[in-house]
C-alpha cells in the first residue's frame, strides 16, 4: 500500500482554522490536557489509559451534548447526540503507550490495532447500518492516527469481496468465529494485498508538550481544534455561510424598528406593533420626518409602495433605513479591514461616537468622505478623515428615494432607544446598568460587541466576541429584504455545490471546444495544461475562463454570484493558471473554497496569506512586493470576473441593491493600497450595471428578435454599446460615469423604439388599418368595388380585429407586470455577438421564487400568454424559471437550480418533466426528501443540473435523508451515493433510487419483458359517469328482471375496488345496467323508465352547465365511456383495486364486470397473479409512482403495464399454479413466502437484494 500522511494543520477545515478560539476555551483545554498527561502511567492497562482519555474529551469538549462511551467491543465512541440511541460518529482504538507490538506506525498500518479498527468499522456499517461515521482513530495517548470515514468507506465498505468474507465470518460460516481469525486470516491478508493509497493524519502529542507552558498559545490552536466536535464530528461551526447568529440579527432588527415573527410555516419580518414601537428607531424616526416634511407628496408614484399612506410611509422608511444600515455595515467591514491591514492600529477605528457623534456627521462620512477622492474633499473633512479611503462605490451616492425624500442627516438625534431585552451590550461590564442609548451610539456599540476582523489569522481571541463575516451579513441582508414573504436564504453549502457542479462543467466544455480536447474532469484539464506554461498560453487560458457568462435570474442577495466568483478563482488556482496581469502565475499560493469562503494558503507552510502594511519613520508605508502582488492580483481577478462573468436580475429593487453590496464586499476583502506612498486604496469598479431590476420571466421582445436592422439604422454599433458598458464599469470619475450612463440609456431607448416599431402586432395593425380605409371606400384589396352589404361586413370584421390588437398592445403597455419586463435581448451586451444576435449564457444558476400560479391572479394570465410550455394553472412559478433558464443558455451549456421538489411527482409537474426530457439533458438530480434545507421554510427541495442538449437517456441521481446530518457533508454524501437512473418519463413521477434499489430495478428489467409488450391488454374498469343510476342492488335488479326477463341481457354483476382482495374477490350483490354504446334502449322500456328518473344528471352537459355528466358524444342513457372491450368482461381476468397498501390482485371469474377506477387484465395465464402479488412486483411498481401519506399507492394501469415479467418455462408455470391454492393462501402465510422466494429466484436476486425488498418501507410523499 501507499501511505499518504497529512500533518495536523492540513487536516483541519480551512475556514474553521480561520475562526479564532476564545481565550477561556484554550486555557481550559491546556489545563485538562496537562491533567490527563499527568495521570498516564505507561505501565497501566489499556482500560485505564482509555478512561483518562475519555474523561479528557468529555470534560473539555463533549459534555453534555455528545455521549462518550464504550460500545460493544469497540474501545469507545463519540456519539452524535446526548445518548446511546444516537449514531456513533467517531470510533476509537486505544493502546497502552508501551504496547509497540499491536500499535500502528507511520510506515506500517498492518497491525492488530488497525485490524481491530477495521472490524469495529465493518460492524458499524454492516450490522448497525451506520452511515454517519466521520472519523476513526488509533492512539496510544501520545501518537495519533486519524482516518477520515470516507477513506474507510472507499477502501473497505465498497470492496464487495471483503464484505462477503466479513459477513461469512460474522455469520459463523468460516472455520473459526474468533476475532483472532478475522485479524489474521481476513484483515491482515487484505492489507497485505492492498496496493492503493491510504491517507491519514498523524501527530505526536510529545511535540506539543513544550508549548503548554509558553505564553504565546497560537501554535497550540491546531491541536485544540483537532479535538473539537466541529472537527472530529464534522459539525457546522457558528458564523459560517449556512447559519445566522440569531442574537445579532434580532438586536439589529430592534435598532431598525422591526421584529421577526412566525406566520404559519414561515418567518416574516414586520414593523413592531403599536405599543412596542420606539420613536428613536431608524424606521419610526424616518416615518416621523417623512410625515413632517410631507415627503411622499414630492415622490413619483414609481417609488411608492402600498395602497394606503401608512403603507407607503412604512415602505419608504424601510427602504431608507435598509440603505443607511447597509452603508454602515459595509463601513464596519471596511474598518475591520483597515485595522487588519495596519496591524491593529486604533486610529483606523472611525465607526464610533467619538468620531461620528450624530446623523449629520454620518451624512458627512457617507457623502463628503467615502464619495469623494481625497483631493476633492474640503480641508476640514480631509484633516479628520485623511486615513479613510475613497472607494468609488455607488453605495455612497444618493439613492433615488433619498433624492425625492430625506437623507440620513434629517433624522432626529435627541432621543434614546431602549436596549434590546437580550442585548449583547448587557453582557459587557460597562453597560450592565444602561437601559437606553442614542440610536446611532447604540448601533456603533452593538457592532463593536462583535468581531468583524478575526477572519484571516490563526490567533487566540482575547475578547469573547462572536464573529460576523460577509457571508453572515449576506444572510442578514437577504432576510431583511424578503421581509414580506419570509425570505428563503440559500445555505452556502448549496450555492457552493451548485456553482462547483455547473461552472466546472462549463470550463471543461470551453477548453474542449477551443482545443478539441476530451477532458472529463478538472484533473484531466490540469494534465493537458501542464504542457502549456508560457506567458502567452497562461493569459489565453485565463481569457477563455473569463469568457464564461453566469446569470442568476432571481438574484436575491447575490449569494450564488458570490459563490460563482469564488469557484472561478478556485478553479484557476487548481489548474495552476491564476496569474497576475503579466501572465506570471501565483505558484506560491493555493486558493480554495472552505465553507463558501475563499481561502488563500502558502502550501509549503500551510500559513494563511495575510496582507498588511508597515509604517516606518524613514520610508513611510511599506508593503512587501510579494504580498502586494498577491493581493492586487486577487483583487483584479475578482474585478474582471465580476465585470465580465457575473450577471443578475431581480424583480425586487432592494434585492438588486443588496446584491451589488455583496459583490462590493467581496472586492473589499482584497482591496489593496496603490503603489507609491501606499495611502490610497484601489477604487471599486461600477459593477451596478451587471445587476439589474426587472421581471426575468417577462419580455416584450423575443430572444430571437433580429436586431441587425436596428443597428444598421442607428448611429451606434454593437461594439459601441459593448464599449460604452465596459467604460462605465471602469469609470472612477463621477461626471464621466453619469455621461456614460446617459449614453447607454440613449442607446437602449433607441433599441426599444426601433424594435417596438417592428412588433408583429404593430405591423399587423398597420395592415388592418390600410384594409379598413379601403373597405370604407367600398374597395377590396385588389381595387374591386363591393356591394354595400359586403362593405359593412368587411368594415365590421376589420374593426373587431383592429380593436383586438389595439387592446393587446394597450394591455402590454399599461400592465403593471410589463412595466418590469426585462429585455434579456439587449440589456446585457456582453452576451450579444458582433451582429447583435443573442448568444446566451454558459451557466444559469439560482434559487427561483416559489409562488403558486393560481395565487397570482391576473399576473398569471400574462405569464400564460408568454408561451411557457411548463405553465399549468395549478403549477408554480419556479417551473417557468426552469424553462427560462434553458432559453437563456448557449447550446451545450448548463443550468442548475435548487427548487421545491413538487414538480418531480405532482400532476402539475408533468409539463415540466416533459420539458426537461424534450428540451434538455438532465445530468444530476438530487432529492432532499425529508431533509430540511431551509431553516425557516417547510419546503422539500431538490437540485437539478441540466445541459442544453437533447436528453441522453440517463441521469445521475441521489436521495438525501436525515442521515446526512448537516449540509456541510452534502458533497461527500452525494459522491458516495450517486446512482444512474434511466428511462425517466414525463407521465410518471421521478422517484430517485438508492444504488441497491437501482441495481434491483435494472436486474428486473434485464430479466423480464414489460407486460405492455405481451400479447395481453390492460383495461380500466367501467366509468358510468353517474353510478347512482347504473349501479343497482340485488333487490332493484330482481324487480327489473321480474318486470321483463329481457332486462337480464344488459344487467351484469359488478365488482368495485373494495370487493377485490389478494387472490380472491368478495362480491356484494351489486349489479350494473350495462347500456353500452349501440344499445337500443327502446327494447328495454322498464330500464329506460328507471334511468329517466335520473335524466337531468345523466344527460351530457354543455360546457357552461353545472348539472349532467361531462360533455361527450354518448346518449343520455348510455355508459359514459365507450367500453369497446366489453366482451373481455365475459372472460376470466386478473383484477385489482386502484388504491391499496400493497398489491391486491385477484383472479375474477368470467362474467363479472369491473367498476372504475379498478383495472383488469383479461388473460388465461393465471400464474401471472402470483408474480403480480409478489413483493418483488410491488417493489418495482412502487418505484414508478408516489406512495401517499398512510402508505397507500395508486396501482394505475400505466404503472402495472411496465412490470417486466420473464417468459418462464411450462414447468415453472405449473409450480406457481400449484402454489396458487386460494384457500391455503388465505390461511397459510408460508405459501406467500414460497411464492415470493420462487419469484426472487426467477429474477436472480441475491440474498442482500431479497433482504432489502423484504424489509423495505416505501417513502411516503404527500
**Residue 643 DSSP code:** H
CA atoms of 193 and 1104, how far apart (whole Å): 79
Specify whether the CB–CB gap between 78 and 232 falls below 8 A: yes
Which helix or strand (DSSP H or E) is residue 614 part of? Answer: strand 614-616
CA atoms of 238 and 16, how far apart (whole Å): 10
Write out residues in the chain with pLDDT < 50, as ranges. Answer: 239, 486, 1223, 1259-1262
Residue 418, Cβ density class (10 Å: 0-12 exposed, 13-18 middle, ≥19 buried):
middle
> Cell numbers at residue 655, please?
434585492
CA atoms of 572 and 590, how far apart (whole Å): 10
> Cell numbers at residue 1042, please?
321480474
Angle between helix axes 439-448 and 246-256 (nearest 10 degrees) is: 170
CA atoms of 663 and 652, how far apart (whole Å): 17
What is the model's pTM?
A: 0.83
Which helix or strand (DSSP H or E) is residue 331 part of? Answer: helix 309-341
Radius of gyration of the chain (CA): 37
What is the β-pairing status of strands 74-79 and 88-94? antiparallel
Please name the residues in contact with 227: beta carbons below 8 A apart, sequence gap of 6 or more: 29, 57, 60, 61
Q: Which of 834, 853, 830, 854 is nearest to 842 (CA)?
A: 830
In total, the chain counts a number of residues equal to: 1262
Count of CA atoms in the C-beta half-sphere (13 A) of 369: 23
CA atoms of 1010 and 1204, how far apart (whole Å): 4
Q: Which of 673, 558, 554 is nearest to 613 (CA)?
A: 673
Domains and CATH numbers, the chain: 2-232 (no CATH), 246-481 (no CATH), 886-992 (3.40.50.150), 994-1016+1165-1262 (no CATH), 1018-1159 (no CATH)
Q: Identify any residues that bridge with 956 across adjacent strands, giving them in sequence order.
A: 924, 980
Q: Where are the beta strands (DSSP E) in 479-556?
A: 550-552
pLDDT for position 214: 76
pLDDT for position 643: 93
Exposure letters 1190-1206 (e unless 16+ CB within 10 A, then b): eeebebbbbbbbbbbbb
Q: Among all chains, which residue has been given the C-alpha cell 499560493?
A: 589
Rounded to an integer, what is the distance from CA 339 to the centroid of its chain?
36
**Residue 186 DSSP code:** I
CA atoms of 946 and 924, how far apart (whole Å): 7
pLDDT for position 1262: 34
Residue 749, Cβ density class (10 Å: 0-12 exposed, 13-18 middle, ≥19 buried):
exposed
pLDDT for position 486: 47
φ, ψ dihedrals at 843, nearest 5°: -140, 130
Q: Is the dihedral of CA 414, 418, 423, 429 positive or negative?
A: positive
Cβ count within 10 A of residue 582: 10
**Residue 227 DSSP code:** T
CA atoms of 759 and 825, how far apart (whole Å): 14
**Residue 235 DSSP code:** -
Q: Which of 1114, 1181, 1099, 1183 is nearest to 1144 (CA)?
A: 1181
Q: Break the chain down into helix, strand, coil percent, rounded to 5.
A: 50, 15, 35
The stretches of 649-787 forming alpha helices (DSSP H) are 653-668, 708-713, 718-730, 734-757, 760-776
Which helix or strand (DSSP H or E) is residue 843 part of? Answer: strand 841-846
* pLDDT tens-digit readout, 92-125: 999 999 999 999 999 999 999 999 999 999 999 9
pLDDT for position 779: 57
Cβ count within 10 A of residue 183: 18
Cis status of the peptide bond prior to 64, with omega within 30 of 0: yes
CA atoms of 1171 and 1223, how far apart (whole Å): 18
CA atoms of 285 and 328, how far apart (whole Å): 17
Q: DSSP assignment of 1234-1253, as one string?
A: HHHHHHHHHHT--HHHHHHH
Please name the residues in contact with 1242: beta carbons below 8 A apart, sequence gap of 6 or more: 1007, 1171, 1206, 1208, 1212
Please name the residues in contact with 222: beta carbons below 8 A apart, sequence gap of 6 or more: 8, 9, 12, 17, 458
- Number of H helices and E strands in the chain, helices first, is 48, 39
Which helix or strand (DSSP H or E) is residue 1197 part of? Answer: helix 1197-1200
Cβ count within 10 A of residue 277: 14
Specify whether the CB–CB gap between 916 and 948 falls below 8 A: no
Largest CA distance in the chain: 123
> Cell numbers at residue 1106, please?
353545472
CA atoms of 938 and 936, how far apart (whole Å): 7
Specify whether the CB–CB gap between 937 and 266 falls below 8 A: yes
**Residue 579 DSSP code:** B
Tell me how far CA of residue 308 lies from CA of 146, 311, 406, in angstroms.
Answer: 64, 5, 20
Cis status of the peptide bond prior to 1157, with omega within 30 of 0: yes
* 3-state per-residue secondary structure call for 869-935: CCCCCCCEHHHHHHHHHHHHEEEEEEEEEEEECHHHCCHHHHHHHHHHHHHCEEEEEEECCCCCCCC
pLDDT for position 741: 82
CA atoms of 728 and 178, how far apart (whole Å): 77
Specify whether the CB–CB gap between 285 and 362 falls below 8 A: no
Amino acid at each position: 500500500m501507499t501511505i499518504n500522511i497529512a500533518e495536523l494543520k492540513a487536516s483541519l477545515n480551512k475556514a474553521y482554522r480561520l475562526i479564532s478560539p476564545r481565550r477561556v476555551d484554550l486555557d481550559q483545554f491546556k489545563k485538562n490536557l496537562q491533567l490527563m498527561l499527568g495521570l498516564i502511567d505507561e505501565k497501566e492497562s489499556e482500560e485505564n489509559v482509555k478512561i483518562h482519555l475519555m474523561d479528557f474529551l468529555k470534560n473539555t469538549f463533549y459534555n453534555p451534548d455528545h455521549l462518550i462511551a464504550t460500545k460493544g467491543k469497540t474501545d469507545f465512541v463519540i456519539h452524535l447526540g446526548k445518548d446511546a440511541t444516537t449514531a456513533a460518529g467517531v470510533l476509537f482504538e486505544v493502546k497502552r503507550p508501551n504496547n509497540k507490538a499491536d500499535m500502528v506506525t507511520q510506515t506500517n498500518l498492518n497491525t492488530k490495532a488497525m485490524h481491530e479498527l477495521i472490524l469495529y468499522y465493518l460492524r458499524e456499517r454492516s450490522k448497525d447500518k451506520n452511515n454517519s461515521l466521520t472519523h476513526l482513530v488509533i492512539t496510544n495517548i501520545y501518537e495519533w492516527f486519524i482516518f477520515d470515514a470516507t477513506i474507510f468507506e472507499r477502501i473497505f465498505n465498497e470492496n464487495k469481496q471483503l464484505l462477503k468474507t466479513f459477513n461469512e465470518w460474522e455469520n459463523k460460516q468460516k472455520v473459526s468465529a474468533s476475532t483472532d481469525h478475522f485479524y489474521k486470516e481476513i484483515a491482515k491478508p487484505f492489507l497485505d494485498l492492498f496496493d492503493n493509497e491510504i491517507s491519514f493524519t498523524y501527530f505526536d502529542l510529545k511535540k506539543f508538550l513544550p508549548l503548554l507552558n509558553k505564553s504565546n498559545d497560537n501554535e497550540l490552536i491546531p491541536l485544540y481544534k483537532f479535538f473539537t466536535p466541529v472537527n472530529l464530528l464534522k459539525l457546522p461551526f457558528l458564523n459560517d455561510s449556512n447559519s445566522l447568529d440569531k442574537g445579532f440579527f434580532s438586536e439589529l432588527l430592534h435598532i431598525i424598528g422591526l421584529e421577526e415573527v412566525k406566520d404559519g410555516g414561515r418567518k416574516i419580518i414586520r414593523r413592531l406593533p403599536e405599543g412596542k414601537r420606539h420613536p428613536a428607531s431608524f424606521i419610526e424616526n424616518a416615518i416621523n420626518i417623512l410625515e413632517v416634511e410631507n415627503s411622499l407628496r414630492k415622490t413619483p408614484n414609481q417609488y411608492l409602495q402600498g395602497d394606503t399612506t401608512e403603507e407607503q410611509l412604512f415602505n419608504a422608511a424601510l427602504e431608507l433605513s435598509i440603505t443607511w444600515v447597509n452603508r454602515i455595515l459595509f463601513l464596519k467591514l471596511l474598518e475591520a479591514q483597515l485595522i487588519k491591514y495596519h496591524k491593529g492600529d486604533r486610529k483606523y477605528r472611525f465607526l464610533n461616537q467619538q468620531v461620528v457623534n450624530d446623523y449629520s456627521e454620518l451624512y458627512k462620512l457617507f457623502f463628503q468622505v467615502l464619495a469623494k477622492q481625497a483631493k476633492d474633499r474640503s480641508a476640514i473633512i480631509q484633516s479628520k478623515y485623511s486615513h479613510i479611503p475613497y472607494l468609488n462605490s455607488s453605495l455612497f451616492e444618493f439613492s433615488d428615494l433619498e433624492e425625492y425624500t430625506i437623507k440620513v442627516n434629517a433624522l432626529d438625534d435627541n432621543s434614546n432607544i431602549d436596549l434590546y431585552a437580550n442585548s449583547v451590550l448587557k453582557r459587557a461590564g460597562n453597560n450592565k446598568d444602561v437601559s437606553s442609548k442614542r440610536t446611532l451610539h447604540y448601533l456603533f456599540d452593538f457592532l463593536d460587541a462583535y468581531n468583524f476582523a478575526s477572519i484571516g489569522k490563526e490567533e487566540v481571541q482575547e475578547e469573547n466576541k462572536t464573529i460576523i463575516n460577509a457571508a453572515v451579513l449576506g444572510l442578514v441582508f437577504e432576510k431583511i429584504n424578503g421581509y414580506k414573504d419570509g425570505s428563503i436564504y440559500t445555505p452556502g453549502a448549496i450555492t457552493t455545490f451548485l456553482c462547483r457542479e455547473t461552472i466546472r462543467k462549463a470550463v471543461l466544455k470551453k477548453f474542449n471546444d477551443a482545443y478539441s480536447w476530451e477532458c472529463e474532469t478538472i484533473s484531466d484539464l490540469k494534465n493537458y495544461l501542464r504542457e502549456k506554461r508560457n506567458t502567452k498560453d497562461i493569459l489565453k487560458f485565463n481569457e477563455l475562463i473569463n469568457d464564461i457568462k453566469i446569470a442568476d435570474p432571481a438574484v436575491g442577495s447575490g449569494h450564488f454570484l458570490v459563490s460563482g466568483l469564488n469557484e472561478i478563482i478556485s478553479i484557476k488556482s487548481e489548474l495552476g493558471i491564476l496569474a497576475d496581469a503579466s501572465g506570471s502565475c501565483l505558484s506560491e499560493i493555493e486558493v480554495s473554497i472552505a465553507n463558501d469562503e475563499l481561502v488563500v494558503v502558502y502550501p509549503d507552510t500551510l500559513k494563511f496569506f495575510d496582507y498588511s502594511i508597515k509604517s516606518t519613520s524613514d520610508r513611510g508605508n511599506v508593503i512587501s512586493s510579494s504580498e502586494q502582488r498577491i493581493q492586487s492580483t486577487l483583487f483584479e481577478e475578482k474585478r474582471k470576473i465580476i465585470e465580465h462573468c457575473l450577471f443578475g436580475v431581480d424583480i425586487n429593487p432592494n434585492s438588486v441593491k443588496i446584491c451589488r453590496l455583496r459583490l462590493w464586499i467581496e472586492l473589499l476583502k482584497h482591496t489593496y493600497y496603490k503603489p507609491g506612498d501606499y495611502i490610497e486604496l484601489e477604487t471599486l469598479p461600477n459593477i451596478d450595471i451587471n445587476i439589474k431590476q426587472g421581471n426575468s420571466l417577462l419580455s416584450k421582445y423575443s430572444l430571437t428578435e433580429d436586431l441587425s436592422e436596428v443597428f444598421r439604422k442607428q448611429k451606434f454599433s454593437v461594439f459601441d454599446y459593448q464599449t460604452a458598458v465596459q467604460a462605465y464599469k471602469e469609470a472612477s470619475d463621477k461626471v464621466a460615469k453619469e455621461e456614460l450612463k446617459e449614453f447607454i440609456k440613449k442607446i437602449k431607448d433607441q433599441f426599444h423604439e426601433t424594435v417596438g416599431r417592428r412588433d408583429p402586432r404593430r405591423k399587423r395593425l398597420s395592415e388592418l388599418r390600410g384594409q379598413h380605409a379601403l373597405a370604407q371606400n367600398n374597395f377590396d384589396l385588389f381595387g374591386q368595388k363591393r356591394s354595400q352589404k359586403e362593405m359593412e361586413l368587411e368594415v365590421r370584421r376589420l374593426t373587431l380585429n383592429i380593436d383586438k390588437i389595439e387592446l393587446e398592445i394597450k394591455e402590454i403597455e399599461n400592465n403593471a407586470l410589463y412595466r418590469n419586463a426585462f429585455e434579456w435581448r439587449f440589456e446585457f451586451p456582453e452576451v450579444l455577438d458582433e451582429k447583435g444576435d443573442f448568444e446566451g449564457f454558459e451557466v444559469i444558476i439560482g434559487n427561483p421564487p416559489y409562488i403558486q400560479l393560481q395565487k397570482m391572479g391576473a399576473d398569471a394570465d400574462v405569464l400564460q400568454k408568454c408561451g411557457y410550455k411548463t405553465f399549468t394553472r395549478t403549477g408554480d412559478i419556479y417551473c417557468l424559471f426552469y424553462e427560462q433558464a434553458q432559453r437563456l443558455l448557449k447550446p451545450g451549456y448548463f443550468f442548475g437550480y435548487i427548487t421545491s421538489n413538487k414538480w418531480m411527482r405532482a400532476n402539475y409537474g408533468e409539463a415540466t418533466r416533459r420539458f426537461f426530457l424534450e428540451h434538455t439533458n438532465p445530468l444530476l438530480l438530487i432529492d432532499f426528501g425529508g431533509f430540511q434545507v431551509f431553516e425557516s421554510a417547510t419546503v422539500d427541495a431538490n437540485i437539478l443540473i441540466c445541459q442544453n442538449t437533447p436528453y441522453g437517456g440517463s441521469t445521475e441521481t441521489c436521495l438525501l435523508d436525515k442521515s446526512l446530518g448537516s449540509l456541510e457533508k452534502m458533497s461527500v454524501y452525494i459522491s458516495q451515493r450517486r446512482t444512474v437512473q434511466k428511462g425517466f418519463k414525463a407521465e410518471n413521477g421521478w422517484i430517485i433510487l438508492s444504488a441497491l434499489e437501482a441495481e434491483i430495478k435494472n436486474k428486473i428489467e434485464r430479466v423480464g419483458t414489460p407486460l405492455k409488450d405481451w400479447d395481453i391488454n390492460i383495461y380500466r374498469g367501467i366509468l358510468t359517469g353517474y353510478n347512482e343510476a347504473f349501479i343497482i342492488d340485488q333487490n332493484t335488479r330482481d324487480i327489473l328482471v321480474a318486470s321483463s326477463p329481457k332486462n337480464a341481457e344488459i344487467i351484469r354483476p359488478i365488482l368495485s375496488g373494495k370487493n377485490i382482495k389478494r387472490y380472491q374477490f368478495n362480491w356484494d350483490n351489486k349489479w350494473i345496467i350495462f347500456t353500452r354504446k349501440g344499445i337500443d334502449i327502446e327494447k328495454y322500456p322498464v330500464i329506460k323508465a328507471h334511468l329517466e328518473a335520473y335524466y337531468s344528471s345523466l344527460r351530457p352537459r354543455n360546457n357552461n352547465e353545472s348539472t349532467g355528466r361531462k360533455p361527450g358524444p354518448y346518449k343520455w342513457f348510455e355508459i359514459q365511456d365507450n367500453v369497446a372491450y366489453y366482451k373481455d368482461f365475459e372472460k376470466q381476468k386478473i383484477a385489482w383495486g386502484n388504491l391499496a397498501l400493497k398489491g391486491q390482485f385477484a383472479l375474477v371469474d368470467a362474467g363479472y364486470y369491473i367498476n372504475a377506477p379498478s383495472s383488469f387484465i383479461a388473460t388465461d395465464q393465471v400464474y401471472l397473479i402470483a408474480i403480480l402479488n409478489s413483493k418483488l412486483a410491488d417493489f418495482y411498481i412502487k418505484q414508478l409512482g408516489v406512495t401517499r401519506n398512510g402508505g397507500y399507492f395508486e396501482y394505475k394501469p400505466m404503472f402495472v403495464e411496465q412490470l417486466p415479467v420473464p417468459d418462464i418455462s411450462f414447468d415453472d408455470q405449473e409450480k406457481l399454479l400449484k402454489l396458487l391454492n386460494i384457500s391455503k393462501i388465505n390461511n397459510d402465510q408460508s405459501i406467500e413466502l414460497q411464492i415470493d422466494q420462487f419469484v426472487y429466484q426467477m429474477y436472480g436476486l441475491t440474498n442482500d437484494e431479497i433482504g432489502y425488498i423484504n424489509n423495505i418501507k416505501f417513502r411516503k410523499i404527500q
